[in-house]
Structure 1
Amino acid sequence: MARMKDKYLALKAELQADLGIKNPMQTPALEKIVISVGAGFAMKDNKLIQNIEDTITTIAGQKASTVIAKKSVAGFKVREGMPVGVRVTLRGEKMYNFFDRLVSMALPRVKDFRGVPRNGFDGRGNYNFGLQEQLIFPEVSYDSVMQIHGMNITVVTSAESDKAGFALLEKMGMPFSKGSN
């Protein structure tokens, strides 16, 4: 079993008591993690899109899919059917393994890291944040990268409020920044 899942099961009772939840089934848990890369800069370069897809697949441990434009938008020079991004949704064991690698290995490698911002919650307990580059993950070698790109990571929880989502992620080891920003 994944180390983070064991950690969650160990702290579930404590989290339930802290949040004042009577029913253990209402205790917040991780549901899924979505990693996405907007690759508008690489729309015309299929090799670059493929490289981004391979990189995200390596990071996530699961095949990433290319996102195709549904409509043409002249202002962005996007045509229907063009690749505009890459995304992967992680659930279950792979989600916990990725979260463990993110918290314990990748985020500490960020230069001048002071924690992830506290204001990334959406009002329903889900947390969103962005990373500037993919090279913070130890699985990615510098030689295999054609272009440095960032990514958005969404952590979807079963929490019904930001307070409960924050408590869950903080207890699971997410390094939030100090203060109230």
Structure 2
Amino acid sequence: MTTTEKNTERIVPRLKARYRDEIVPALKEEFQYSNPMLVPGMVKVVVNMGVGDAARDSKLIEGAVRDLATITGQRAEVRKARKSIAQFKVREGMPIGARATLRGARMWEFVDRLVSISLPRIRDFRGLSPKQFDGNGNYTFGLNDQSMFHEIDQDSIDRSRGMDITVVTTATTDEEGRSLLRQLGFPFREQ
């Protein structure tokens, strides 16, 4: 089997195909881009889970890494404290969180599952805040619980863990980023 045959057999994620076929032409028309390479796209998705209590109980970080690996589909990286902070009883080098950076097909699959399955499962969900952009088109939001992801077994949850999800885009303004994410299916609240 040659490399060209291998490349043609690859399955394109559903959301990426929709982005290429529908969203790129719509954004190109909306913002009057002359070059298709100017159309904003997703670069990476960073899922971060802070576990401050891991300073007292080191077993908590293992649960966070396990949950994050289950949710994202790749092994999570353990984040260690950079500085000692006496008030929080944290020493330099102690594990205090876990994160996973998703790119490529895993990123598209994760965003598709997040938007179509996980966010609608949140009780009393009114939509994401449209004001949490960073000024450069990147969007960060937090979730209070990991149980909304269908990959997590409800009976095996030892404790509720929240997480921060950052979607990094090539958009240069918040308006471009908001339009891209809205077209991808992110449910933003009306202002």
TM category (shorter chain) comes to: over 0.9
Matched, 1:159 2:167: no
Matched, 1:114 2:126: yes
Alignment correspondent of 1:52: 64
Match of 2:24 in 1: 12
1:84-133 Cα deviation digits (max 9, x unpaired): 11100000000000000000000000001111111110000000000010
Distance 1:74 1:50 in 2: 24
Question: How far off its partner does 1:24 sit?
Answer: 0.7
Report the CA distance between 1:46 and its aligned residue: 2.2
Residue 75 of structure 1 deviates from its aligned partner by: 2.0
Aligned equivalent of 1:26: 38
Q: Equivalents in 1 of 2:75, 2:38: separation in Å?
A: 31
Paired residues of 1:30 and 1:157 also in contact (CA < 8 A): yes
Percent identity reads 46
Give the TM-score of the pair, scaled to structure 1: 0.96
SS at match of 2:150: coil
Contact (CA 8 Å) 1:66, 1:87: kept in 2 or not? yes
Aligned match of 2:14: 3
2:184 counterpart letter in structure 1:
M
Q: Is 1:42 the equivalent of 2:42?
A: no
Moved more, 50-59 or 66-75: 66-75
Normalised by the length of structure 2, the TM-score is 0.92
Structure 1: where are the runs of 5+ without partners? none
Question: Which of 134, 137, 144 is the matching residue for 1:132?
Answer: 144
Which residue number in structure 2 is paired with residue 94 of structure 1? 106
Bigger-Rg structure (1/2)? 2
Distance 2:55 2:182 in 1: 37
Q: Return the letter of the residue paired with 2:77.
A: S
Q: Contact 2:85–2:91 at 8 Å: present in 1 too?
A: yes
List, as ranges, runs of 4+ consecutive aligned residues in structure 1 with deviation greater than 3 Å: none
Aligned length: 179
Q: Deviations over 1:137-168 (max 9, x none)?
A: 00001222211010000000000000000000
The structure 2 residue matched to 1:168, chosen from 180, 186, 191, is 180
Deviation, structure 1 residue 52? 0.7
Q: SS in structure 1 opposite 2:147?
A: helix
